[in-house]
Structure 1
Amino acid sequence: MRLSTVILPVHARAEAVARWRRAEDLGFATAYTYDHLSWRTFRDGPWYDALLTLAQAAAVTERMRLGTLVTTPNFRHPVTLAKDVMTLDDVSGGRVTLGLGAGTDGFDAAALGLPALTPRQRADRFAELVDHLDRLLTTPDVTVDGEYFSAHEARTIPGCVQRPRVPFAVAATGPRGLKLAARYGQAWVTTGDPATFEDGTAAQSRAAIARQMERLEAACAAENRDPASIERVLLTGFLPEDAFASVDAFEDFAHAHAALGITEIVVHDPIPDTQFALDETIYAGIAELAPTLAALD
């Protein structure tokens, strides 16, 4: 099991640089960031662009992988996103993972003034985004027409440093999203089951995650894909159990989820006075568990 972190794009340069460097020094496998225009309780505060934040992070780190959790079609077009990701992969020396999700109907989804979509339409749009990105990042000259996105003689040259393209980490729990994860993803991402977030128990949450992974494996079987070839990423912060009361509590939490089949756990870089507040000593202590957790693979 790998241990990673997510650093929200809320910090101006000096603080941001310090946090990305600290994440690498602590030994996290990957440091991700959210790709939104703003997000929930942070909507009236600072919020910077995800891809430019990752470019800055690439310039001040050397070993740690970098990625989005997650990029959505709410305000990203596959042609320009492919060019940005190709460039970021070059800038980072081949250290980028592109997290992808369908996007919700939250307030920043309406920032461009586009009409709201139904869940089915969002799923259709997401399928187009993932398919077009796969083509754009593996083919130097792409023409494709879709209902939501089109590309006409779009060049993505010289392509990604990582071949055949940067890894996709697909966030999904529904059947269509899981099919995309099985077909295109090098990783699958879950935040658990929203039905358990408010009033669920740890046992209910873990059972729900186990069911999600059963559906992922069924989707892999339908695609003739070896389920072991796809990583299973758990983004914490949205679960009913308190995994961060102590380092020991987190270690127990990690072991329990490794037994379910999770291969990577992502913890939030602490932000005081927010839902991601966490004692810095516990955060550093969790990072020290990385070698022990790696042995769980």
Structure 2
Amino acid sequence: MALFLETLIGGVLAGTMYSLVAIGFVLIFKASGVFNYAQGAMLLFSALLFVTLLKLGWPIPLALFATMVVTVIGALAIERIVLRPLANRSTMTLFLATLGLSFVIEGLAQGIMGTEVHALNLGVEDLPIFWGDILISQFDLYAAGVAITLTLLLALFFNKTRIGVSLRAVADDAGAAQSIGINLNFIWQVVWAVSALVGLVAGLAWGARQGVSFNLSLVVLKALPVLIIGGFTSIGGAIIAGVIVGAAEALAETYLGPIVGGGIQFWFAYFLALIFLFIRPTGLFGDAEIERV
């Protein structure tokens, strides 16, 4: 039982880091219907910029503030220069635009800041914590706390502020929202800026865990099963699905890995996502499309 609980808790805590990445996708998709494949590259760029400023001798608070400013400005520029002119194009066109944008951002980031792996120390050591016979990672606890706090802040922002209410109106019906005076361009800029900040938090968490390198942009692939299971339009769904994926991966690796030969954690999340596509294509909390003919 101790092994089961330890594996389950470790998987749940690790799953919150998947959720951090998925939330950035949800925000943009919910507001504009765009699957922003460049989210992983933006995550990489912000983490690389932060660790580079630290290596130049900047104190952590100043480096964090500067990274936030540059990240938000970059996100606003992407929305204004790249996505807005393509607003009326097909979904596939928008997806391909973000796909190409991801390579541009990755090349720019590594061209300016180098391609070597950078160690990132956020002041939280990955020390073991014992709860009786159960071993828990201290870093995973902090990461889970950050994910939960960020989710609560986003929930307050989108449910209690005028901008948040406008965003929900745009998500429900962009045409109707525009007809009552809501500025779609402003809402999209806010969403891209918030998504960039969420990506920064996710980039720092993943960078501290596995180092800041090109592979950091590939965490976007881990977000896909989370989005499919939780739903592309639900922030809460991203959190719950991340927990499900993290726990399922850990348990499958522990109990099924010895049977199938190990390595199950690399594909088990996609197996779960495939099941959900057959059973509930919109995910646990996704909005089903209603078509009238």
TM-score by length of 2: 0.31
Q: Which is greater in Rg?
A: 2
Higher-strand-fraction structure: 1
The answer to which structure has the higher helix fraction is 2
- TM-score when normalising by structure 1: 0.30
Give the structure, 1 or 2, with the largest relative contact order (CA under 8 Å, sep 6 or more): 2
